[in-house]
Structure 1
Amino acid sequence: MQVSDVRILLAVVAAKSLAAASRQLDLAPMQVTRRVAALEEELGVRLLHRTTRSVSLTAEGEAFLPYATSMLEAEESAKGELGRSPNQVTGHLKVSAPTVFGQAVIVPLLGHLLLAHPELRIELDLSDRQLDIVARGFDLAIRIATLRDSELVARRMAANPRVLCAAPRYLALNGCPRNVLELERHDCIQLSAVSRWPLIINGELTRRRLQGRVTTSSVEAARSAALQGLGIAMLTYWDVRQQLLDGTLVEIRLDDAQMEPLDIWAVMPTRRFVPARVKVFIEALEHALSGPGYSGD
């Protein structure tokens, strides 16, 4: 089995199109089709459903995907270990991260990483949706969540507590809530993915549906609405860290409740054959999260 054929298969899966993969790989579409067909013939199974517009994995393709990913990781690891410089960081690093966190924390790291490692290329996908990092060929994803059971490998990077916050002018006009009952009387900016706010009251987690005139699917839009004085937002610390520091947003603490804690996680497909490019990225991110200022720990 040729690793080059496996690489082509993963490119097709990530692009969801033979034509798109051929453009990314700079190969003729017919060549991509033939190499995937050769891999299927060697394995004795059909790996892809093909239509004129898109492709998708068969059940056999889904089963083969983790092995395909491990093969490429093993090749990368071997090259790193046996190459001229074992510490050299090369290749294409694909990272997925939440939009606001990525802009505030990860983007400022890129210049240093690229300067320190001239042969490194970085592709950063910023999205508030949780993507299938295996199917889309990502090296890792940064997630801010309470992680569910998963076959992925997760490494905790730092705490990232939820924060209630509002603009000073909103609080000057409407007062600052001191407890949950008072909070329920305020305009609360809603994230559509979190219809009920998670509060810890008397040591128990409860979820309250609060009222407000602004609802959005975007963390960035919720922060902007709070900055405009449109209500109280529930966001995570690293989403509003700079605004809390410069005073454009003010943290609200309740006497009878705390927000459910969250953590920042680096999620990877496997712990085996972790490429050097992933290791240096994680080290840089850990350093940034442990820098000056409250980290939430």
Structure 2
Amino acid sequence: MLGTPWHVIMRFLTEERNDRPEQSLQLTNKSSVFYHAAMSSSTERFEVALNTPAGRVTAVLDVAIGFVPVTSIVPVARRLGEDMLKLEEARVREQGEPVSCQMGCAACCRMLVPLSPPEAFALRDYVAGLPAERQDRIRSRIDEIDQRLISHGLASSLREIAETVEAIPDEELDPVNRAYYALRLPCPFLENEICSIYEARPAACRELLVTSPASFCDDMVNNQVVPVPVGVRIGTVLGLLWSTIKSEPPRLIPLPMALEWAERHAHEASQRWSGAELIDLLLDKIWRVLSHEFQVRGQTPPS
């Protein structure tokens, strides 16, 4: 269980880069996207229909067009991800396995959470909009965590993960992942066991739901924790999108390093891309991941 979500996301990012499955994966659903010209000149409306292993998702999305920062696509991606995850939740409930996660159950907030670059930039922007005293508390907790990581020899490893231009094999990532989890460091955004940035939390946090007893999450190494299946990991999708528009290897940033990384790469966040092209690229990556997931589950995509 502890390998989720780092191993799953990193493995898919690596396979996507190495295999380039454009020819081997059928990109389903493409005919189910419609454009509505009745919106304002700065917004375009997309009606999206996606066939997923858990059912069909339909959504109407108002997307900024013109030239926009990559962060503009993050809320759209999260919306689609949450809609797809609701279908997975409904499926496990129908199988008699309700989700056991509840407010205040924050055991998973001690895991090493990965962010895609667009999410890291969006998080930086969100924190910058908070009152000064809240920003100070967050940065103080980040500094405390950094000192703990330095004292245990993990800080440099996490910064290398954030900046690497090479794929990280599981045998190198797993010891870092486990060492971080062993420290049981609370997320810097956790206050009184409740997420203080709930509306802006990373996709990996949104996607980690379990059906096993909540008490099992206190020790995810030794307990058999059962996660709700995730058809599309939005961190993967946004990581692939960033890799494409930047023509660089996919990367994921550990949450404790996210603000630092985003500030160091602020010049990249200031760049602008066509909003229409970003949404097209987002949907292409979602279709690619969905096609892969259908294959993994041994299912045939609806025609």
**Which TM-score tier does this pair reach, normalised by the shorter chain?**
under 0.3
Please, what TM-score do these two structures have when normalized by structure 2? 0.23
Q: Which has the higher contact order (CA 8 A, sep 6+)?
A: 2
Which of the two has greater helix per residue?
Answer: 2
Query: Greater share of strand residues, 1 or 2?
Result: 1
Normalising by structure 1, what TM-score? 0.24
